[in-house]
Structure 1
Amino acid sequence: MKKFLLPSKKSSYPVQKHLLNTLAFILIVVLTLGYSLSNGVDSIKTQAASKKLIKKKVLFVGNSFTYKNDLPNMFKKLALSGGYNITIGSSTYGGYTLLQHSDADDEKGKITLSKITSKKWDYVVLQEQSQFPAYDNLREEMYEGARKLDKVIKDNESTPIFFMTWGYKNGDTYNSVDATKTFEGMQEQIQIGYETIADELSDQISPVGIAWLNAYQTYPNINLWAADNKHPSIAGTYLTACVMYETLLGKSPVGLEFTYKLSIEKAKALQEIAHNTCAAYIAE
């Protein structure tokens, strides 16, 4: 029969030493793991704190060129993907002009003025009726409304931003003025209209219409207009939101993950158009 020998007193010391070493190792592992977990939690907390969303408040004042496809909320979602939490306000009514928005005796104008002073907005975006900036006989009315709104906004310690809109796809066929019979021609006149009043009031412009022109010339297959050839398509509103993103937040929209219903390729193309337009416009 095979015998099993008990360890002698001489051999018990190495066993005990090995056991102690093992226990010490386990203790070190436990302590190290505890320290690492503690640091890990702190690290996660630090990362979470560093990713806190930057808060901004933006009010949009305008008409159907703003509320078509819900530009304010598209801008909000785009900004969220860039790390911003935007509080959005909107006072937009079909066909409304800046003068109507500035009129305290006008039912909807009264609402607009109340919204402007309801809180300290970081920015109030002003969008004029689509034809007024393009014609001399309509610009004075635009400028009168712009001056009134500009004062109310600045008295409320907010910053006005002019939303330069775009020309109609086939030009303004409702008027017999040669200068606005094409998209490019109408866009040029709209730009003049907005820049004139913005310069007078020392206000900033969001060069949306110029971005539309650049996109139209660079990517003619991307249709920016809705079926009426005036209002924006989804792509048009997305491009507008990208320009607003860079104008209001000072960051490039290139690489933002929010693409709404557009393909990644189309969204990226419009993001790049928006960034290049804003960069060139600021440099002028």
Structure 2
Amino acid sequence: MAPTVCRIGIEAAAFLDSRPQSQCPGEEPHAATSRPLTTVSARLAAATALLLPLAASAADVCFFEHYNYQGASHCTSAASGEVGAAVTDRISSVRVPAGTRVTLYQHPGFTGSALALTGDAPNLTDRGFNNLASSFKVASTTPPPASGPVCFYEDYDFRGQSECTSATGGDIQVLADRVSSVKVPAGVKLSLYENGGASGRMLVLSADAPNLAMAGFNNRTSSFRSESTGTGALQVVFIGNSFTHGNANPVLHYNSVNVTDLNGSGYGGMPGLFKQLTVEAGLNYQVAIEAVSAQTLKFHYTSKRAVLDNQRWDAVVMQDQSNLDPAAPGNPANLITYSGLLEKFIHGVDVNANANGNAKANVWLLATWARPDQVYQLGGHWYGQTLEQAATVLSNGYKAAATQNRGTAGMIPVGDAFVRAVGQGVADRNPYDGIDGDKLNLWSGDNHHASAAGSYLEALMAFGRLTGRDPRSLGAGSVAARAMNLTAAQTTALQEVAYRQLLASQAP
């Protein structure tokens, strides 16, 4: 419904004042009049009632100027749009209809920082979003009915002995620790557990997974739980720095329109590539990014918890500073400490309260690549060592964090994939001595960040780990690869590298 605040506010004032009153644009001014007190009182009571959000049904979203649903308001049954001129950038509380999720955006056109609400919010200051909202989207959270049983298979690609069940949870009866692929009904979120009784490490899926080795979960499932989802989408956020968002186009802003940047920076980056890969695979992932250049996981834990608490996440992927610790390169102590604290925060068991904590969220550690400027340049921390040696230090640091923090799902070995690409002759080893004509350069011009090809490989690794899909299934015509200016041959070569690395890297 259209806002009526302007007219109502002026009429109410006019009942108490005999002076001419200003009107909304296009209206004639009221003439000066005097009214009996009884008439003024009666009409004032009527006007006061009108200040409430009239015609707002139980299905309407209502935005309010002040805390506790007070002040000017704008109610609407629209699925998306602007919040209304009367309250743009002045919203302090929101009424959310039952069974819906309302996402507020900082700027018009669903851009900038975002906040998702699944219930009434009487004080947006508590959520770090007071007087910020300019546009919104509404989605249903009413679970659709499950369309069939969950089926577990002994071999990849849904082959071999199978076990199907319509139960919502329990231990695997026949194929315990022998599950290699899973069929997931539409509208169902499935959690696989490595131990009986829904315990131990976990993998969350919302669609068929034809190859659990890609997710590091082959022959590991002993029990499961399933639940209906509102949209079928998995909510995933990538936490990191410029190794996440990229340092230049075509990576930096790629697909940003389909990625929610929680910091309002407008990044697409590797998460934008990941989102496109899920679309190519016919999967439903809602993707967000929370990345700040040069920062550590310590920074994200100490400074970004309020931003990360804006959504209930199903999967979280986080990476630390490129050398693990800028003050002590190669030292994983802070990575271990703060990845553990962030994992507990995401799961809602941290000492700092998380209103949207999700005990079933998958938390992944993305292990980054060795930097040529640190290996081949005098003064680099790994100068005089090989690329493999530097990569091993980084990889071992992430493995230590994943092993010690048992609440994580495991690691995504991107740095190991870079080394594999070099070893298989797909990529050049040392960009400082020139790039061989038949090889890719996985690093950008600063010999520090990933190139477009390197970011595509990074996204392939995340895609395989989170979805249980073989990256090779994306094929030579991958839209994301073409956007990174890769040829068909380069695309399939990088997909093969990702597949081989994921196959070789079972989660800790």
Q: Distance in 1 between matches of 2:296 and 2:382?
A: 24
- 1:206 maps onto 2:412 in alignment: yes
1:56 and 1:84 in contact (8 A); partners too: no
Q: Distance in 2 between matches of 1:101 and 1:180?
A: 33
Which 10-residue stretch deviates more, 227-236 or 135-144?
135-144
Could you say what secondary structure the match of 2:502 adopts? Answer: helix
What is the deviation of 1:170? Answer: 4.7
Could you say what secondary structure the match of 2:290 adopts? Answer: strand
From 344, 364, 379, give the equivalent of 1:161. 364
1:116 and 1:124 in contact (8 A); partners too: no
Mapping for residues 111-260 of structure 1, pairs under 5 Å: 112-132=304-324, 138-155=331-348, 156-157=357-358, 158-172=361-375, 173=377, 181-202=385-406, 203=408, 204-218=410-424, 219-220=426-427, 221-256=439-474, 257-258=478-479, 259=481, 260=483
Could you say what secondary structure the match of 1:251 adopts? Answer: coil
| Larger-gyration structure (1/2) | 1
What is the deviation of 1:247? Answer: 0.5
Mapping for residues 99-114 of structure 1, pairs under 5 Å: 99-103=298-302, 109=303, 112-114=304-306
TM-score by length of 2: 0.42
Unaligned ranges ≥5, structure 2: 1-184, 187-205, 208-231, 252-268, 349-356, 428-438
1:225 and 1:231 in contact (8 A); partners too: yes
List per-residue Cα deviations over 1:222-267 (Å, max 9, x = no partner). Answer: 1100011110111000001100000011111113133232111111
Residues 283, 57 of structure 1: CA spacing in aligned structure 2 closer, same or farther, 3 A cutoff?
closer
TM-score by length of 1: 0.73
List per-residue Cα deviations over 1:257-283 (Å, max 9, x = no partner). Answer: 332321111111101110110011128
Residues 131, 174 of structure 1: CA spacing in aligned structure 2 closer, same or farther, 3 A cutoff?
farther
What is the deviation of 1:87? Answer: 0.9
2:236 and 2:314 in contact (8 A); partners too: yes
RMSD over aligned Cα, in angstroms? 2.5
Determine the structure 1 residue equivalent to 2:43. none
Q: Distance in 2 between matches of 1:192 and 1:175?
A: 23
Q: Distance in 2 between matches of 1:100 and 1:274?
A: 30
Which 10-residue stretch deviates more, 119-128 or 171-180?
171-180
Give the counterpart letter for 1:88 in structure 2. Answer: V
State the number of aligned residues: 228
1:206 and 1:244 in contact (8 A); partners too: yes
1:79 and 1:245 in contact (8 A); partners too: yes
Determine the structure 2 residue equivalent to 1:78. 277
Give the counterpart letter for 2:422 in structure 1. Answer: Y
From 285, 289, 293, give the equivalent of 1:90. 289
Determine the structure 1 residue equivalent to 2:488. 264
What is the deviation of 1:139? Answer: 2.1
List per-residue Cα deviations over 1:81-105 (Å, max 9, x = no partner). Answer: 00112211111111100001110xx
Larger RCO (alpha carbons 8 Å, 6+ apart): 1
Give the counterpart letter for 2:286 in structure 1. Answer: T
Q: Distance in 1 between matches of 2:393 and 2:288?
A: 29
2:330 and 2:394 in contact (8 A); partners too: no
Residues 119, 180 of structure 1: CA spacing in aligned structure 2 closer, same or farther, 3 A cutoff?
farther
Q: Distance in 1 between matches of 2:463 and 2:293?
A: 24
Q: Distance in 1 between matches of 2:330 and 2:396?
A: 14
Greater strand fraction, Structure 1 or Structure 2: 2
Residues 206, 186 of structure 1: CA spacing in aligned structure 2 closer, same or farther, 3 A cutoff?
same
2:329 and 2:381 in contact (8 A); partners too: no
Q: Distance in 2 between matches of 1:283 and 1:91?
A: 24
Greater helix fraction, Structure 1 or Structure 2: 1
State the identity %. Answer: 27
Mapping for residues 51-62 of structure 1, pairs under 5 Å: 55-62=233-240
1:180 and 1:189 in contact (8 A); partners too: no
